[in-house]
Every structure is written in structure tokens, then in C-alpha cells.
Amino acid sequence: GAGVSQSPSNKVTEKGKDVELRCDPISGHTALYWYRQSLGQGLEFLIYFQGNSAPDKSGLPSDRFSAERTGGSVSTLTIQRTQQEDSAVYLCASSKDRSYGYTFGSGTRLTVV
Amino acid sequence: TQLLEQSPQFLSIQEGENLTVYCNSSSVFSSLQWYRQEPGEGPVLLVTVVTGGEVKKLKRLTFQFGDARKDSSLHITAAQPGDTGLYLCAGQEGGANNLFFGTGTRLTVIP
């Protein structure tokens, strides 16, 4: 597509429920990133996918967080047993590879109540 | 954990004024990027600098990468209301998979 598409744009969930966030990267971009942006905070790296290689999960804050990328394209970030501190904007970005600039989606604003 | 500190954190100026935003780190980066983010949107790439001492100009915006590749600055000449937004620097260490983002500078240009 023309840009990075994320869905949903907003998600309100109850504490303890699981959520899935979706990212559609730009066609042909082999690198895909998930970041988290909390109010007043900078962007926090979560996970990186490059082609068919094993993902770099070093930024995931706990084992409640997981992500997959199917067919080298669409990615899903799953948060299990959500907590209030998970409330943030989750941003997905893609690039031609890790040396190039990122194109970000508009993000998913997650609110855990 | 890498730390990219930006200053000032907040900046409010009148249209037509000049301003400079700074991005500093103790780490050496192979490249450094600047992004601008508007409310409800993801950051948008403005520029990438890769060589120590490099200066790039984008219309009224001038970006500089420090000689030691640890710091960078963004200078805006004759600021306009359309320049309002959150400015983020982001550095990539050689071999790292991801960018480390700065703390951000929130700029407001008053008409």
C-alpha cells in the first residue's frame, strides 16, 4: 500500500483482557518495527522483524507481549492479560532495511481501564 | 539503554523567529535521523545524516551532525505555524537493529 496501515486506531479494553494490534507495512519493505509511546515519554522499541529471520524481541517489556509477522508482510502485536501500565500509543514502522529511515503508521491508542 | 537527550523539552515562539533544537548523547551513532510528529499521527522522517560534521538543509530547516557523531542540532529559520509539532531525533548504533529515539522537543509556533 501507499503507507503503513494500523488497526484499530483506538482500543479500550478492560484490565486482564487480551488485545491484538495489526500492522500492514509498505509493500516491499522487509524491515518492520513496533514501538510504544507513552504520554510524556519517548518512543520505546519493542520488536524488529527482518524478512524471514528470527525477530529481535529484546525490547518486549514482559512475556505478556508477543508479535508475529506472517508471510513477511502483516504483523500482529498481542498483549495478554492487559494492565493499566500498558496504556500507550503503539506505533508500527517499516523500512527497506534497517539502514533506511522509517515510515510510521498512525498508531493504535490503547487504553486499559 | 541508550539515552538521547533533547533540549529544550518545550519551546513556544512567535512566527518569524529562529530556533535551534539540540540532541545529545554519550554514544557514537553511525547515523542520526530527525522526525516530526503531529498529534494523532506517527513520526515523519525529515532527514538522515551519516557523516560527522555533515550539514543538510531542507528549505528553512538546517540539520547538523556533530564531528564525533554523538550529537546533532536542528535549526529552523523564520518559523511558521506549520512547523508546530514534536521533533524527535533518533540514532542508530553500528550493528543495532533499531533506532533509539530522543526524548523529544515540543515546538509551538504562535501566529
Arithmetic mean of pLDDT, B20-26: 96
A-chain residues near B98 (CB < 8 A): 33, 45, 48, 56, 59, 98
Closest by CA position to B31, among listed B6, B59, B56: B56
Q: What's the whole-number average pLDDT of chain A?
A: 94
Decide: B65 and B72 in contact? Cβ < 8 Å. Answer: yes
Grid cell of A9 as nine digits:
486506531
Alpha carbon distance B35, A32 (integer Å): 17
Arithmetic mean of pLDDT, A25-49: 92
pLDDT digits (tens, 9 = 90+) for B52-102: 999 999 999 999 999 999 999 999 999 999 999 999 999 998 888 889 999
With CB atoms and an 8 Å threshold, state whether B104 touches A45.
Answer: no
Interface of B with A in 21-80 (CB under 8 A): 31, 33, 35, 40-45, 48
Alpha carbon distance A17, B59 (integer Å): 48
Cβ count within 10 A of residue A40: 8
Q: Can you give the C-alpha Rg of chain A in angstroms?
A: 13
Q: Residue A56 carries which DSSP code?
A: B
